Amino acid sequence: MKISVIITLKKDVLDPQGKVIHQTLDGMGFDDINEVRQGKYFEIDTKESDNVKAKAKVEDMCKKLLANLVIENYKIIDPK
Amino acid sequence: MKSSVITFPGSNCDRDMDVALKKFGFKNKMVWHADTELPKSDLVVLPGGFSYGDYLRCGSMASKSKIMQSIINFANSGGMVMGICNGFQILVETGLVPGVLLRNKYLEFICKNVFVKINDKKNKYFKNVDNEVLEFHIAHNEGNYFCTNDQLKEIEDNNQVAINYCDRNGKVEDQFNPNGSIKNIAGIFNKEKNVLGMMPHPERMIDTSLSGEDGSLFFKNLINNLK
């Protein structure tokens, strides 16, 4: 089963990369952007076939390694 | 005094640290990250470098290395653990010191000498250092210290800030902040002050003909404080 995770920076954390991307897009003519925030995307292919158990394990992975909860939020996307 | 320097895949200041520690009288051992047992040590150093290629977040992979559990136990029982640069990043990822280190504010890799002001001397790292200001070297891409407001309050209430970026006279101001760190924080302790994480490299300032002597002051003082 494949489970996806999106990690984003928390609202109050400065994202200089997002800012530069925003400025660059702006310079390219995409001038109606309010803000760009850069994040991370993971695809985890697990042997676990039980949906609920798999999600719980991925959540544990997020807390222990994939995200740093001081600055990041994680969102687990429901497996299809 | 016995010290241990941990080598992770991608560490590159481990041998510099070994040279520095030995120069000032430590009997140092190099310890591989995949070992599980820590040799008997009075000081453990997590060195600078790019452990695991800085994948995911700087220090995040190294913080889960096999040796780290022994180091966490050592620190929690009062052992002296010092993380320099990438070592600091590893320490924040283990949670031994609070906060995180973000990308530098202006997105550039910074490699230069800086001045730091010692904020607290009631600890074994800086006790008896005569100087208020030290000149150290920094070389990092992710040294922008960040923590939540609640953490900052706790850090300040417990006087856990070790050193702040400043000018040569010890003025701590925004213009002397190289990387955007909150309150110019360059180094921080855990609550008990046996664990120190800092971005500057004292091991690069131990030779007048190469750099400077402020690192020598630091190490000479450190070994005396541990005796």
Domain membership of residue B7 as a residue range: 2-226
In this predicted structure, what is the pLDDT of residue A80?
Answer: 65
Q: Which residue has the higher pLDDT, A78 or B3?
A: B3
- Catalytic annotation present for B201: yes
Domain membership of residue A34 as a residue range: 2-77
- Please state, in angstroms and rounded to a whole number, the distance separating the CA atoms of residues B101 and B86: 10
Distance of CA B42 to the CA centre of its chain: 16
In this predicted structure, what is the pLDDT of residue A17?
Answer: 87
Over the stretch B52-94, which tens digit does the pLDDT of each residue have? 999 999 999 999 999 999 999 999 999 999 999 999 999 999 9
B147 contacts A17? CB cut-off 8 A: no
The domain total for chain A is 1
Residues 6+ apart with CB under 8 A from B141: B54, B58, B103, B104, B108, B109, B110
Q: B49 falls in which pLDDT band (50, 70, 90)?
A: very high
Q: Evaluate if residue B185 carries a pLDDT over 90.
A: yes
Angle of helix B214-226 relative to helix B14-23, nearest 10 degrees? 70
In this predicted structure, what is the pLDDT of residue B194?
Answer: 98
Distances in whole angstroms, Cα of residue B51 to Cα of each of A75, B54, B56, B149, B190: 27, 6, 11, 29, 22
Q: A79 falls in which pLDDT band (50, 70, 90)?
A: confident
- Catalytic annotation present for B33: no
Q: Evaluate if residue B150 carries a pLDDT over 90.
A: yes
Q: Evaluate if residue B172 carries a pLDDT over 70.
A: yes
What is the b/e burial string over B93-108, where b = at least 16 CB atoms within 10 angstroms of the residue's CB? bbebbbbbbbbbbeee
DSSP type of residue A43: E
Is B142 at the interface with chain A, CB within 8 A? no
Q: What is the mean pLDDT of residues B25-50?
A: 97
- At B129 the three-state DSSP class reads coil
- Catalytic annotation present for B203: yes
Q: Evaluate if residue B152 carries a pLDDT over 80.
A: yes
In this predicted structure, what is the pLDDT of residue A16?
Answer: 85
Over the stretch B102-129, which tens digit does the pLDDT of each residue have? 999 999 999 999 999 999 999 999 999 9
**Residue A29 sits in a domain of what CATH number?**
3.30.1280.10
B100 contacts A65? CB cut-off 8 A: no
Number of cross-chain residue pairs from A and B with Cβ atoms under 8 Å apart: 32
The domain total for chain B is 1
What is the average pLDDT score of chain B? 97
- Please state, in angstroms and rounded to a whole number, the distance separating the CA atoms of residues A5 and B133: 45
**Residue B49 sits in a domain of what CATH number?**
3.40.50.880
Q: Evaluate if residue B17 carries a pLDDT over 90.
A: yes
In this predicted structure, what is the pLDDT of residue B210?
Answer: 81
In this predicted structure, what is the pLDDT of residue A78?
Answer: 81
